[in-house]
Amino acid sequence: MNSKKVCIAALFSLFCLKVAAINPDSTAAAKRALDKERTSLLANKELKPEPKIERMFQLGLWNEAIPLLTADKNPGIDMRLLNAEYFLLNNDFIKADSLVTSVLSRRKDHQKALLLKAQLDVWAWKLNDAAQTCEKIAADKDKTFYDKAMLQLGRVRLLQKKYDEALKIAKDIQTLYPKNAEAWLLESDVLFWNQKPDQAEAPLKK
């Protein structure tokens, strides 16, 4: 993915994660905050590789993450899934699927692997499979990935043009996780694609 797209994705991630109290209408302020956060992360020598890579992905430092991704010659499950996520971010779905499948062959209920599988199924337009996987994650007693699974399910329902279901999911996640910006973005997307563009901007200002 080219550097402009990476920067845009990282700017959106910065808004979603609330790393700085900035006006979302100010692109320049967002860019400055992004640059500051990137510099701070790259200089941090205390973070373990896995959480550091996760944050690097969120901030668009995908290429910079490669040395950390490839340093471990005998990667465990977490590092395998981070590599799968890297391949997914770069649209290399075959390699991503291979790693996710290898993890699920040993840990069939691994939530992050299942979430990545759902994302891969969406790209393959296997929407029903993706929805079932998201519902499985959401039903698990471990709620670590509940919000991510439900938002993925909401995006699936949006693609299926099940707008009422997608909107309900967005509203439910907003109630449970009011600081989750992706829930507000999902609401906006639903309103836009459901022929209500005049209402689609309001959720993005919350």
Given a cut of 90, whether residue 53 has pLDDT beyond it is yes
Give the model's pLDDT for residue 201: 78
pLDDT score at 206? 65
Residue 64 CA to residue 125 CA, distance in Å, equals 30
In this predicted structure, what is the pLDDT of residue 100? 98
Does this model's pTM top 0.85? My answer is no
Helices (H), the chain: 3-17, 27-43, 49-58, 66-71, 77-89, 93-106, 111-123, 127-139, 146-159, 163-176, 181-193
Residue 24: pLDDT band with limits 50, 70, 90: low
pLDDT in tens, 137-195: 999 989 999 999 999 999 999 999 999 999 999 999 999 999 898 999 999 999 999 88
The model's pLDDT over 82-139, given as tens digits with 9 standing for 90+, comes to 999 999 999 999 999 999 999 999 999 999 999 999 999 999 999 999 999 999 999 9
On the question of pLDDT at 18 being above 70, the answer is: no
